[in-house]
Amino acid sequence: MIVTGASSGIGRALAFAAAKAGYRVMLVARRQERLEEVAAAIGSGGGECAYLVADVTDVNAPSRIVDATRKAFGRIDVVVNNAGVGAPGTLLEQSDDAIEYQWQLHVVAPLRISRAALRDLRATHGQLLFVGSGLARVPAPGFGAYCAAKAAVRAVAIQLRRELSKDGIAVTYVDPGAVDTEFSQASGMQRAEEGGGVAVAPDRVARTILRGIERRARRINATPWQTAAVVIGEWFPGVADAAMQRIVDAPAAAAPPAVPPRRSTPALRRAAEKPEDTPGPLNEFDAALAPVARRMERVKLPPEFLRETLVPFNEIELGELAMRWAGMPNKNERAVLREALDALAGAGYLAASGSETWRVLRAAD
């Protein structure tokens, strides 16, 4: 079983439950320390697993995930597309990057992974799972891009279920309900999804998902009473509109938009080629980078690239960020990027969480 987003929340709980049930599990997530912790715990409990540090939105991630699983276990029976994060913010006020990232993370990445694993799943008559949300059916104000992406996930699961049935591959859509996870607590998503009720524990949801896998269920409603509330809201949109306005109180202010550091897009490459095209006042952010500004200019490291990496609660890893900026950075480019990150840490934007990792404390002013 491949489980993406396995370092926390539903993915972590499902990995434990699956390993206990006898599955050999490939854990996939971005945070190596968390993956090591989960893998060690599964191993100490007698389970068998391997892990791969990967961002599922990377173009090469699907082939890496499938290749690693084949090498570790020789076969693939189940793929659980669980990795995800919400982006609070009203739909028309969110940036193009925020909207695009939700689409890439929740829709495009699972499709790529499913395509990469298709040959293996045909051989085993395996199963694909897509983790959705009640907000796919009754969207909440303030979570526009997330709701739209999850609605697409629901449609994808239904479509693939019908397209792949001839191959003996089961496709399952999971509505987990409101779950007590890190992001739900921080963003206010939990409150919107649960309709003011009590969120359920990830372990409970994981057990329900595992039973659904064993039944090869078309749909898994992990928290049936919450799904029933969503269905009522879908049938009576006027009631749902009024209820949502009471439940969701400015969710965009509850947490910053969840957008990782951007990859090297054409716009970023243009900025890198002409850093003088993006001047700005000497605010606190610019002042923090002033001591390294000349060296940044020499290696064409645009301040705007660093500005956009400052998404609170995100983790920054030096090597990954260098690859996103420069593709194949040389020693000098990597050194300058390290100096810039250290400067931002000195100004209180970042906090070191390892020798080459930082946690974002606040966004650029």
Whether 15 contacts 213, CB under 8 Å: no
Task: Please list, in sequence order, all residues whose beta carbon lies within 8 angstroms of the beta carbon of residue 225, skipping any fewer than 6 positions away.
Answer: none
Question: Which amino acid type is present at position 78?
Answer: V
Residue linked to tokens 């064993």: 214
Q: Quote the longest CA-to-CA distance of the chain.
A: 62
Distance (Å, rounded) from C-alpha 85 to C-alpha 233? 23
The token pair that represents 221 in the structure block: 């409603």
Whether 136 contacts 88, CB under 8 Å: no
Distance (Å, rounded) from C-alpha 362 to C-alpha 350? 7
3-state secondary structure of 305: helix
Sign of CA pseudo-dihedral 129, 82, 182, 50: positive
Distance (Å, rounded) from C-alpha 345 to C-alpha 324? 20
Distance (Å, rounded) from C-alpha 316 to C-alpha 227? 36
Buried b / exposed e over 238-272, threshold 16 CB at 10 Å, is eebeebbeebbeebbebbbbbbbbbeeeeebeebb
Whether 269 contacts 324, CB under 8 Å: no
Residue 128: is it exposed, middle or buried by C-beta count within 10 angstroms (0-12/13-18/19+)? buried
Distance (Å, rounded) from C-alpha 306 to C-alpha 224? 44
Given the residues 23, 51, 101, 146, select the one marked as catalytic: 146
Q: Is 146 a catalytic residue?
A: yes
Residue 290: is it exposed, middle or buried by C-beta count within 10 angstroms (0-12/13-18/19+)? exposed
| Catalytically annotated residues | 146
